[in-house]
Amino acid sequence: MLNVRIRCPWCMVFPAIHLLRAVSDHLDLLRPVQPPPEESDPKVLRQFDYERRVAELAFGEDADELGGLIAGGRDWMQLTDTEHCGKMSVLLSLLAIWHSQNDKVLVFSHRVRMLKIIRSYVEREQHP
Protein backbone atom coordinates (compact mmCIF):
# COMPACT_ATOMS: atom_id res chain seq x y z
CA MET A 1 0.00 0.00 0.00
CA LEU A 2 1.27 3.45 -0.91
CA ASN A 3 1.75 6.10 1.71
CA VAL A 4 0.21 9.06 -0.10
CA ARG A 5 -0.34 12.48 1.47
CA ILE A 6 -3.38 14.37 0.32
CA ARG A 7 -2.47 17.92 -0.61
CA CYS A 8 -4.50 21.08 -1.01
CA PRO A 9 -7.17 21.85 -2.10
CA TRP A 10 -8.40 18.72 -0.28
CA CYS A 11 -6.90 19.98 2.97
CA MET A 12 -9.49 22.79 2.88
CA VAL A 13 -12.61 20.63 2.54
CA PHE A 14 -13.46 20.25 6.24
CA PRO A 15 -12.61 23.85 7.21
CA ALA A 16 -14.78 25.04 4.30
CA ILE A 17 -17.67 22.79 5.37
CA HIS A 18 -17.32 24.13 8.93
CA LEU A 19 -17.53 27.73 7.67
CA LEU A 20 -20.53 26.97 5.44
CA ARG A 21 -22.36 25.38 8.38
CA ALA A 22 -21.59 28.43 10.51
CA VAL A 23 -22.83 30.95 7.96
CA SER A 24 -25.96 28.89 7.33
CA ASP A 25 -26.79 29.20 11.04
CA HIS A 26 -26.09 32.91 11.48
CA LEU A 27 -23.87 35.51 9.87
CA ASP A 28 -22.38 36.46 13.23
CA LEU A 29 -20.80 33.01 13.60
CA LEU A 30 -18.23 33.99 10.95
CA ARG A 31 -16.96 36.75 13.23
CA PRO A 32 -14.17 35.72 15.62
CA VAL A 33 -14.46 36.37 19.34
CA GLN A 34 -11.74 38.79 20.49
CA PRO A 35 -9.43 37.09 22.99
CA PRO A 36 -8.95 38.94 26.30
CA PRO A 37 -6.09 41.50 26.32
CA GLU A 38 -4.08 39.38 28.76
CA GLU A 39 -4.18 36.36 26.40
CA SER A 40 -0.64 35.40 25.39
CA ASP A 41 -1.04 31.83 24.10
CA PRO A 42 0.33 31.93 20.53
CA LYS A 43 -2.09 29.21 19.42
CA VAL A 44 -5.12 31.24 20.56
CA LEU A 45 -3.76 34.40 18.93
CA ARG A 46 -3.02 32.58 15.65
CA GLN A 47 -6.55 31.11 15.65
CA PHE A 48 -8.06 34.56 16.21
CA ASP A 49 -5.94 36.03 13.39
CA TYR A 50 -7.00 33.21 11.05
CA GLU A 51 -10.69 33.69 11.91
CA ARG A 52 -10.38 37.46 11.45
CA ARG A 53 -8.86 36.96 7.98
CA VAL A 54 -11.69 34.57 7.07
CA ALA A 55 -14.22 37.20 8.19
CA GLU A 56 -12.41 39.84 6.10
CA LEU A 57 -12.60 37.56 3.08
CA ALA A 58 -16.27 36.68 3.67
CA PHE A 59 -17.57 40.19 4.40
CA GLY A 60 -15.26 42.11 2.08
CA GLU A 61 -15.91 45.81 1.73
CA ASP A 62 -19.37 45.37 3.28
CA ALA A 63 -17.93 44.45 6.70
CA ASP A 64 -18.76 47.75 8.40
CA GLU A 65 -22.27 47.78 6.95
CA LEU A 66 -22.82 44.23 8.24
CA GLY A 67 -21.66 45.01 11.77
CA GLY A 68 -17.88 44.70 11.65
CA LEU A 69 -15.41 41.85 11.67
CA ILE A 70 -15.24 41.03 15.39
CA ALA A 71 -18.04 39.35 17.36
CA GLY A 72 -19.41 41.23 20.32
CA GLY A 73 -18.46 44.63 19.00
CA ARG A 74 -22.11 45.53 18.57
CA ASP A 75 -25.02 45.82 20.91
CA TRP A 76 -27.51 42.97 21.16
CA MET A 77 -30.19 44.88 19.23
CA GLN A 78 -27.95 44.80 16.15
CA LEU A 79 -27.09 41.15 16.75
CA THR A 80 -30.75 40.22 16.87
CA ASP A 81 -31.70 42.05 13.68
CA THR A 82 -33.56 39.44 11.64
CA GLU A 83 -32.58 41.19 8.40
CA HIS A 84 -29.30 39.23 8.36
CA CYS A 85 -30.73 35.82 9.27
CA GLY A 86 -33.79 34.24 7.69
CA LYS A 87 -33.71 31.32 10.13
CA MET A 88 -34.31 33.70 13.01
CA SER A 89 -37.34 35.23 11.29
CA VAL A 90 -38.82 31.75 10.94
CA LEU A 91 -37.89 30.81 14.51
CA LEU A 92 -39.52 33.93 15.92
CA SER A 93 -42.68 33.26 13.92
CA LEU A 94 -42.84 29.70 15.21
CA LEU A 95 -42.15 30.79 18.78
CA ALA A 96 -45.00 33.32 18.57
CA ILE A 97 -47.38 30.60 17.35
CA TRP A 98 -46.29 28.13 20.00
CA HIS A 99 -46.45 30.80 22.71
CA SER A 100 -50.03 31.67 21.74
CA GLN A 101 -50.91 27.98 22.09
CA ASN A 102 -49.15 27.79 25.50
CA ASP A 103 -46.73 25.21 24.10
CA LYS A 104 -43.26 24.67 25.54
CA VAL A 105 -40.23 24.71 23.27
CA LEU A 106 -36.76 23.26 23.65
CA VAL A 107 -34.13 24.64 21.26
CA PHE A 108 -30.96 22.72 20.38
CA SER A 109 -27.84 23.84 18.54
CA HIS A 110 -24.35 22.51 17.84
CA ARG A 111 -22.87 25.84 18.89
CA VAL A 112 -23.05 27.62 22.24
CA ARG A 113 -22.63 30.94 20.41
CA MET A 114 -25.73 30.13 18.37
CA LEU A 115 -27.71 29.42 21.54
CA LYS A 116 -26.62 32.80 22.93
CA ILE A 117 -27.81 34.50 19.74
CA ILE A 118 -31.15 32.67 19.93
CA ARG A 119 -31.47 33.69 23.58
CA SER A 120 -30.88 37.31 22.54
CA TYR A 121 -33.62 37.01 19.90
CA VAL A 122 -36.05 35.56 22.40
CA GLU A 123 -35.26 38.25 24.98
CA ARG A 124 -35.65 40.95 22.34
CA GLU A 125 -39.08 39.65 21.42
CA GLN A 126 -39.88 39.12 25.11
CA HIS A 127 -40.85 35.47 24.81
CA PRO A 128 -40.87 33.78 28.21
**Long-range CB pairs of 107-113, under 8 A, 24+ apart, other chains included:** 109/25, 110/21, 111/22, 111/25, 111/29, 113/28, 113/29, 113/33, 113/71
pLDDT by residue for the chain (128 residues), tens digit each?
Answer: 445 555 677 777 888 888 888 888 888 888 888 888 888 889 989 989 988 998 898 888 988 877 788 876 555 556 666 776 788 888 888 988 998 999 999 988 888 988 888 888 888 777 55
Q: Based on the structure, what is the number of domains in the chain?
A: 2
44 and 91 fall within a common domain: no
Does this model's pTM top 0.85?
no
* Domain extent for 15: 9-73
